[in-house]
Structure 1
Amino acid sequence: MQFTTQIPIPKSNSPIDYNSKMVSLGSCFAVNMAEKLDFFKFQNTCNPFGILFHPLAIEKLIRFVVSGKQFTEEDVFFHNERWHSFDAHSDLSAANKEDLLTSLNTIREATKKQLLEASHIIVTYGTSWVYRALESNEIVANCHKVPQKQFAKELLSIATIKESIANTIQLIQSVNPEAKFIFTVSPVRHIKDGFVENQLSKAHLISALHGAFDSRLSTFTYFPSYEIMMDELRDYRFYNEDMLHPSSVAVDYIWERFKETNIAETAYETMDAVATIQKSVQHRPFNPASESHKKFETNLQGKIAKMVSQYSFMKF
């Protein structure tokens, strides 16, 4: 008996395998998926500038990376005893201005190399709502708890988002024309914007993505994370206690749908072997000095050595 209506998802024509190199960008759900890729030891970089929620923030930082922009004192500000950049997440903020600028420029340089080498770019959009700094008239990626009166809240139009998607793709293709793109919309509910406003925000993102998609060009594929959460997992038991973020069960389920449609079947055997090693690494023995545990450790190190001999980039 079938208790859900499963969303049909076509298999990717350019699936991910262990030769693939990925750059994941976007909302906190991008981090959820990147953690799965990391667990299975794929070659993946996630949000080098921190979590980014809306399309214009992602586009702007890609533009900075591709153009080789140098971050200077004009790009940072001091607030609540720390230095911040409106274009990066607060995880990068620092107590020292020079440290922040060095970090931003180092990350920009490293991200350029990652974009050049990437086989897949995975972009997760979270919201269409943005904040414009009144003093500079610039849309920011993060407000860093600056008083809200210093910003104007706006909803990005479908046309603006569609243009931003096209710009983001064009910028990356200008340095890496072979990169494949996977776009998705985060299933996290941004209820602080309002219930109706959250739905409107997601609708703008989905409409823009489908408007930008051209099957004849196969520029990118769309993975329906939001739709899976809203339809296949239509129950509050699939949310965390905040009733906003998908639970670990929901993340696992969405990952499985992603795996079966976007990861090559030839990678499954290696994924299973990696998962076995990962679980063994996390094992905590009752008696570390016992003979059985010593044999367990020897066996584990043999498995790791064999895996690393095949895939030198893996670290356990």
Structure 2
Amino acid sequence: MDFYTFVELPPDLPKLAHADRLMLLGSCFAANIGMKLVEAKFRCDVNPYGILYNPLSISAALREIDGGKEYRPDDLFFFRECWHSPMHHGDFSSCEAEDTLQRINGRLKEAHEHFHQLDCLLVTFGTAWVYENKNTGTVVANCHKQPESYFIRRMLSVNEIVSDYTSLLSGLLARIPRMKVLFTISPIRHVRDGMHANQLSKATLLLAVNQLQATFPEHVFYFPAYELLLDELRDYRFYAEDMVHPSETAIRYVWERFTQSCIAADALQIMEESENIRKMLAHKPFHPDSEEYKRFLGQIVLKINRLNGKYPYLDFQKEREICRIRLKA
């Protein structure tokens, strides 16, 4: 007897390898999966603008990264004793304009350096609702708690999203023909929009991605994170206390389904060995100064050296530093 609806994953999803260069942009799902990919030693750039929710802000960010934009003082605005960028999350904001610019341009330079070497772009749409600045007419990525009277709130149409991304992807794929684009829709509900308006928003995003798949069948793919949470895990025990965001258990489950369908077989083996190293480092010894523990740390270093010998692009700098500090202690 079945007690839940099983979500079948598409059979043709791209298989990610540790040698690939990845970039993730978008809603909290991109941040959650991106963090797990980084922990698994994939080469990822995760949300260089911070969390982004709507498709137009994500596409604007991609165009700026592609073009190597450098932010200047007139790209910022001052509000509540801080300098902000309407394109960036509040993590980039600061009391000094120069600090804000340094944070923004540092991340932009880092993202731009490897952008044209990307193998896979993972994009998570959160909502089709946008806020347009009344003075500039541009869609903002973040209102930074400015009064709603500063903005016009509206919902994007399917055609608007498809037109924007058809133009964007046509240009990107002409320059990076090997690149795959994996779309997801965030399962996080935007309850402030109202439940019906949230459903309309998610449906708009789903229809837009479906049309993009039809337009770019060799390059655009869809991973059903939204369906996994709403259909397979359709129970409030899989949500956090706010009853909106997925719980840690739900995130781990979606990650497991993601690895089953989107990670290459060789990469799964590397992930297992990397996880063993992480667990060994997490081990708390009874006698950290003992020779036995130092030999144990030496074994970890040997494992790291062996993996790096086979896969030189794996980044074990943090683990090496931990071993070095503990061996000197």
Q: TM-score, normalised by structure 1?
A: 0.94
Structure 1's 11 and 144: CA in aligned 2 closer, same or farther, altered over 3 A? same
CA 1:195–1:27: 2 relative to 1, 3 Å: same
Sort the Cα spacing of 1:41 and 1:234 in 2 relative to 1 into closer, same or farther, 3 A: same
Aligned partner of 2:93: which letter?
Answer: S
What is the aligned residue count? Answer: 316
- Aligned partners of 2:108 and 2:134: how far apart in 1? 26
C-alpha distance 149-284 of structure 1, shift in aligned 2 (>3 A): farther
Deviations 1:189-238 (A, max 9, x none): 11111111111111110011112212773221100000110001111111
* Identical-pair percentage: 38
TM-superposed deviation, 1:159 = 1.0
The corresponding residue for 1:28 is 28
Partner of 1:106: 106
Q: What are the Cα deviations for residues 105-138 of structure 1, in whole angstroms up to 9, with x where unaligned?
A: 3333322222211100000111111111112221
Report the Cα distance in structure 2 between the residues aligned to 1:54 and 1:242, rounded to whole angstroms. Answer: 21
Task: Write the letter of the residue equivalent to 2:259.
Answer: K
Q: Give the conservation status (yes or no) of the 8 Å contact 2:233–2:250.
A: yes
Please state how far the C-alpha of 1:13 moved relative to its aligned partner: 5.6
Matched, 1:39 2:65: no
- Confirm or deny that 1:220 pairs with 2:228: no
- Partner Cα separation in structure 1 for residue 216 and residue 165 of structure 2: 17
**Aligned counterparts of 2:190 and 2:58: Cα–Cα separation in 1:** 18
CA 1:14 to 1:270, structure 2 compared with 1: closer, same or farther past 3 Å?
A: same
Q: Counterparts of 2:36 and 2:113 in 1: how far apart (Å)?
A: 23
Paired position in structure 2 for 1:121: 121
| Alignment-derived partner of residue 302 in structure 1 | 302
> In structure 2, what is the Cα distance between the partners aligned to 1:270 and 1:178?
23
Counterparts of 1:256-271 in structure 2 under 5 Å?
256-271=256-271
Say whether 1:80 aligns with 2:80. yes
Q: How does 1:237-276 map to 2 (within 5 A)?
A: 237-276=237-276
Superposed CA offset, 1:56-95 (max 9, x none): 0011111222233332222101111111110111111122
Structure 1 contact 22–121 (Cα < 8 Å) conserved? yes
Structure 2 counterpart SS, 1:103:
helix
Distance 1:67 1:20 in 2: 22
Aligned to 1:3: 3
Check conservation: 2:13, 2:261, Cα contact below 8 A: no
Gaps of 5+ in 2: 320-329
How many angstroms apart in 2 are the aligned matches of 1:145 and 1:15? Answer: 40
State which drifts further: 151-160 or 161-170: 161-170
SS of the aligned residue for 2:243 comes to: coil
Unaligned runs of 5+ in 1: none
Instruction: Determine the structure 2 residue equivalent to 1:156.
Output: 156
Q: Which residue is equivalent to 1:97? A: 97
Aligned equivalents of 2:172, 2:96: Cα separation in 1: 32
Partner deviation per Cα, 1:256-306 (whole Å, 9 max, x = no partner): 111111111122211111111112222233331344433322222221222
Q: Which amino acid in 1 is paired with 2:55?
A: P
User: What secondary structure sits across from 2:123 in the alignment?
Assistant: strand
Distance verdict in 2 for CA 1:129–1:286, change over 3 Å: farther
Structure 1 residue 177 corresponds to structure 2 residue 177? yes
- Tell me how far apart the structure 1 counterparts of residues 13 and 253 of structure 2 sit (CA, whole Å): 22
The residue type equivalent to 1:251 in the other structure is: I
Q: Assess, with a 3 A threshold, how the Cα gap between structure 1 residues 216 and 25 changes in structure 2: closer, same or farther.
A: closer
